Amino acid sequence: MKRIKRYIAFFLLLVVSVGAIGCGGEDGPSQTATVTGTVADTALNPISGASVVVGSVSSSTGSDGTYILERVTSGLQNFSVSAPGYLSVSKTIDVTPMATTYVPKTILEQKDSKSTDIGSGGGEVANSDGSVKLSIPAEALSSDLSIVITNCSLLSAPLPVPDGYKLVSLVYISPTGTVLAKPATLTISAPSETPVSFYWFDSSASAWQSLGEGTVSTDTVSVSISNFGWIAAVVPVSVGNISGRVITSGGAGIAGADVRTPSSLAVTDSSGNYTLSNLPVGTVSVTASKIGYIDNSVSVVVQAGETETADNITLSPVSSNGSVAGKIMPASGSGVIAGARVVAQGKTSYSDSNGDYVISELSAGTVTVSVYAYGYVNQDASVTITTGHATSQNFSLSAVSVADFSDGFESESGWSAAGLWNRIQNITLSNNTLAPYYVTFSSGDDGSLPAAHGGSYSYWFGDSATGSFIGEQRSIPPDTELSGGTSAFLATTKGDLISPSINLVGYSTVTLTFWTWWEVEARDPSTFDQMKVNLSDDDGTNWTMLLKINPEFTNPEDVSKPYSSGGFFTPGVWVKHQYDLTSYAGKTIKLAFSFDAMDLQSNGFRGWFIDDVSISKDAISASSSRKLF
């Protein structure tokens, strides 16, 4: 039912999509376009979650402050940006049809924290630091209004100020759209240059409207205003323009790069070209920035009435990778752990003498960082890697107290048992379905299965139905007397017992120990009824044989008799094997006990038992042979 619903939902989605595509392809009343840009605060930090509206299309900015609006109607469109706690910006932009329009970076000013309630009696409003003031006369307002006056960064101006002027102060008075019945007086600090003229930004016309020249006193200048919103104070200045291009190191134009001077903003077009207009004469630094690139600047001398061509600004991409770094310490006591191995995304590093590590060139995203140190329990941490950043992650490792890996199979512990491998509890069972007719045991041997080496459980490659590894006995033609037991199927006479992952990290010498009891054919036990111990250090993809425990022995005349861990034609005994795994120190391994009868002949014996597998860091003397059988 759930599936059906999903198909219906998908079908509906398909219909809607096809409908929308059809509509766009049939040339609607206006051609559509894409509008993109970024939103930042006055410190140029991106603002995420800002609402951006162009005409009837809206979207919000991502974590990098970027927005993309698609299927926007082309031509002159209202563009507005708002975010909680910030002053909104609203202006008109010209959207190019069938193309991407890059909007210069929108800087949002944080709204001043102080608000003042003024009624019809009038009063004075100041911002929180008192740098700008508004005196509202009686009867200017018909009802109470909560007024906020914000002294803004010059970069927050919604549009460049008119030609021939330089912005010296920018004030925003809200609620915007308020019109006073009698003019109020706005007073700001006097700039060093005069005369000071004022403009009010008419957002519906997307243009600055002149308020005339301000009245300058010793250290302030004031002007009459009747409309709330943006008020710009400007001084006349000789101005010029800059044009230039932002490129990659390969010379390709970078579209949509933000270009700024201390007082103006532009954005590059699809060819990477930009123009900054109405800049005060003199030397100015022009900085280009684009998400994914490292900022770069050029210095340009602006000449009055001229358009200077700036040197190309070359942007290099930021590394697409991040890093993780931190310190590795013991969980108890003081000090640091030097020489710890740290692994993330397959990259390895080691802590230095201060316990500090760093792994660079990691792909962004959630990454598992694993730390291994001799004598300590290894530890994983999940960290978030961010492009171009170093994520900090410290580790406190607990000291290893006891030996390392041991399993007596007294409980289920994650071994994978295939074929006839099974974990058995001591049972009173003997291989007497096959003996003495097919299989011959020595005098006094009743064919009993052994008790576990330790505890009461062990793993056995054998079948409790027969007490042997014959699997299903051959019936067509019938098995014959003293055959040693003939299997019906090859597939049931082999199987692997595979350990869970065993961590050998942190050890300088590693020894595998296990106990085994086995009984196989005596006909040719060096070739058949193979008992191998294999090892994988890549989670089971590839296996290496450590040892084969079969004896070097043949006795084709006695096909019904067994060879066991006790010897020829004698009951098995538990024997200990040890193997030096030091060459696998620092790795995570799996062990496999692999039985394979290899053929159907002489398979009526008790098979292979394993118990008390352990791996310790006890040293093996250098003079001892690798194979300790």
For the bound state, the minimum distance from the C-beta of residue 447 to Ca ion, rounded and expressed in Å, comes to 17
* 258 versus 519: smaller Cβ distance to Ca ion: 519
Give min distance, CB of 520 to Ca ion, in A: 6
Closest CB 508 distance from Ca ion, rounded Å? 29
* Cβ 408 to Ca ion shortest distance, Å: 4
Cβ pair 256, 102 in contact under 8 A: yes
Q: Among residues 318, 312, 255, which one has the least CA distance to residue 286? A: 312
Provide the pairing of β-strand 239-248 with 313-317.
parallel
Give the integer Cα–Cα distance in Å for 538 and 588: 8
For Ca ion, the closer CB: 165 or 574: 574
Q: Which is nearer to Ca ion, 86 or 563 (CB)?
A: 563
Least gap, CB of 544 to Ca ion (angstroms): 25
Comparison of 61 and 560: residue with beta carbon closer to Ca ion: 560
Measured from the CB atom, the residue of 17 and 426 that comes closer to Ca ion is 426
CA atoms within 13 A on the CB side of 70: 2
Encoded tokens for 500: 């869970």
- Of 147 and 610, the one with the shorter C-beta distance to Ca ion is 610
Cβ 243 vs Cβ 275: under 8 Å: yes
> Helix, strand or coil for residue 22?
helix
- In the bound complex, what is the minimum distance in angstroms from residue 553's beta carbon to Ca ion? 13
Binding site residues, Ca ion, CB under 5 A: 408-409, 452, 454-455, 457, 521, 528-529, 597, 602-603, 611
Minimum CB separation of residue 489 from Ca ion in Å reads 13
Asked if residues 150 and 127 have their Cβ atoms less than 8 Å apart, the reply is: yes
Is 191 or 454 the residue whose CB approaches Ca ion more closely?
454
Contacts for 229 with CB less than 8 Å, ≥ 6 apart: 172, 173, 174, 176, 177, 200, 201, 203
Measured from the CB atom, the residue of 409 and 441 that comes closer to Ca ion is: 409
Rounded CA gap, 616 and 411, in Å?
A: 20
Least CB distance to Ca ion at residue 477 (A): 18
In the complex, the smallest distance separating the C-beta of residue 459 from Ca ion, rounded to whole angstroms, is: 9
Instruction: Tell me the C-alpha distance between 108 and 156, whole Å.
Output: 6
The amino acid occupying position 319 is: S
Query: Tokens at residue 519, please?
Result: 């009984």
- Gap between the Cα atoms of 356 and 327, Å rounded: 4
| Beta strand segments in 190-306, E | 197-202, 207-213, 215-216, 220-227, 229-236, 239-248, 258-261, 264-267, 273-280, 282-289, 293-294, 296-302
Nearer residue to Ca ion within complex by CB, 290 or 561: 561
Evaluate whether 110 touches 42 at the Cβ level (below 8 Å): yes
